[in-house]
């Protein structure tokens, strides 16, 4: 369970760090870096993109890994039961949604052929 809790903790830290980076990189009037003109436009976009990617995809992946570890441990101990019909239908709906999203991403990539930023790739 130590590894599972560590992954959940790292997920929370990524969420906090990414949110802080996204706010530091934001071009909002009350940001001290914007007030004192210490934040360049390019730096701002890179910092914000990095923050959004870390607080989104990276944090979610770490949380999923931690929860997967918990499920594996519960199965090994015989604690977890069988999936009900409601569980299976919820999983089916999520899988359908995921496939629709992948279809949309593929369609955008084939149609627009624009240069993608690192943040767009990571967030997809």
Query: Where are the chain's structural domains?
Result: 1-81, 82-124
| Strand extents, DSSP E, 30-77 | none
pLDDT tens profile 15-68:
999 988 888 867 777 777 766 777 676 667 778 888 888 888 889 999 999 999
pLDDT tens profile 59-109:
999 999 999 999 888 888 888 777 789 988 998 998 999 888 888 877 777
Verdict on whether the full-model pTM lies above 0.75: no
Residue environment code for 62-85, b if the CB has 16+ CB neighbours within 10 A, otherwise e: bbeebeebbeeeeeeeeeeeeeee
**How many angstroms separate the CA atoms of 3 and 48, rounded?**
30
């Amino acid at each position: 369970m130590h590894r599972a809790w560590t992954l959940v903790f790292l997920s929370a830290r990524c969420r906090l760090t990414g949110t802080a980076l996204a706010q530091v990189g934001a071009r909002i009037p009350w940001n001290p870096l914007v007030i004192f003109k210490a934040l360049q436009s390019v730096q701002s976009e890179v910092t914000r993109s990095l923050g959004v990617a870390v607080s989104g995809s990276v944090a979610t992946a770490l949380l999923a890994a931690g929860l997967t570890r918990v499920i594996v441990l519960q199965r090994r101990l015989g604690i977890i039961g069988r999936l009900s019909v409601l569980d299976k239908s919820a999983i089916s709906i999520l899988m359908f949604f995921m496939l629709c999203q992948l279809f949309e991403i593929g369609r955008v990539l084939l149609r627009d052929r624009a240069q993608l930023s690192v943040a767009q790739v990571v967030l997809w």
